[in-house]
Amino acid sequence: MMGKEVVIKVKDFSYYVGSSQILKNLNFEVFKNEILSIIGPAGSGKSSFLRCLNRMNEIRAETKIEGTIEINGQNIYFPEVNITELRRKVGMVFALPVPLPRSIFENVAFGLRMAGVKDKKLIESRVIDSLQKVALWNEVKDRLHSSALKLSGGQQQRLCIARVLAMRPEFILLDEPCSGLDPVSTMKIEESLMELKNNYTIILVTNNTKQAARVSDRTAFFLSGELIEIDRTDRLFTAPRDRRTNDYISGRFG
């Protein structure tokens, strides 16, 4: 596990919305092909951090950053960085499944079409491949062209992951992807994630400490915009170094 290639490097990173500081001086690294969970109570800044990784934070007005985030050695906040390419490389799955009001096929193909891919064969093979990777292919192969809105919540969320996979990203950011799902659907998503980590680096923000314990290699604990502790998941959950981490994972707050 250790001694692995560093793919994301967060250095002295702070983030402000308006005059309030959301993230405070973060310093840590993410390794290739790991699942990193970020846990913490509501308002700890974990989702905001995720949005800083693909610069989705910039959609809202009045934001400011300090410090750097390097992905593959490149500071993503350099002015010459192409944001749309960054977002293709760093895919994102949201808390609630948001299928676009289109067919299942078109949902998965959406990113490719926006990237200007015209080759029909390529699009089709990517769609099939992506749906297979999230174990949705068998459930939807007969109705690829019916509306994605008709899928169940769990299926929709797996579709959203497939939609990200179709872009062939290197990173997948998941923002509490199971918060609206039943246990069976949650389990299916977790299985997919374990499968996917062989090829992708995954950062999972979750409110569910048990989920973090189940799926992730390492876990980071955020509190009030600060990184309190980051460690191997088994160690963080059995022998946290910080009292606040211990309080949180034993359910004393949050």
Binding site for another protein (CB under 8 A): 54, 56, 59, 61, 71-72, 74, 76, 80-82, 84-89, 91-92, 94, 96, 98, 100-101, 110-111, 113-115, 160, 163-164, 167
Closer residue to another protein, CB minimum distance, 131 or 230? 131
Contact by Cβ (8 Å): 166, 112:
yes
| Shortest reach from residue 219's CB to another protein, in Å | 24
For the chain, how far is it from start to end, CA to CA, in angstroms?
A: 30
Contact by Cβ (8 Å): 109, 166:
yes
| Shortest reach from residue 23's CB to another protein, in Å | 19
Closer residue to another protein, CB minimum distance, 53 or 230? 53
User: How far is Cα 40 from Cα 51, in angstroms, rounded to an integer?
Assistant: 16
- The widest CA-to-CA distance across the chain, in whole angstroms, is 55
Q: From edge to edge, which strands make up the β-sheet containing 226-232?
A: 90-93, 171-175, 201-205, 35-39, 218-223, 226-232
Among residues 229, 203, 155, the alpha carbon closest in space to that of 53 is found at: 203
Closer residue to another protein, CB minimum distance, 162 or 213? 162
Contact by Cβ (8 Å): 201, 8:
yes
- At 35 the three-state DSSP class reads strand
| Shortest reach from residue 141's CB to another protein, in Å | 23
| Shortest reach from residue 238's CB to another protein, in Å | 35
Residues constituting the chain: 254
Closer residue to another protein, CB minimum distance, 157 or 219? 157
Closer residue to another protein, CB minimum distance, 53 or 213? 53
| Shortest reach from residue 22's CB to another protein, in Å | 18
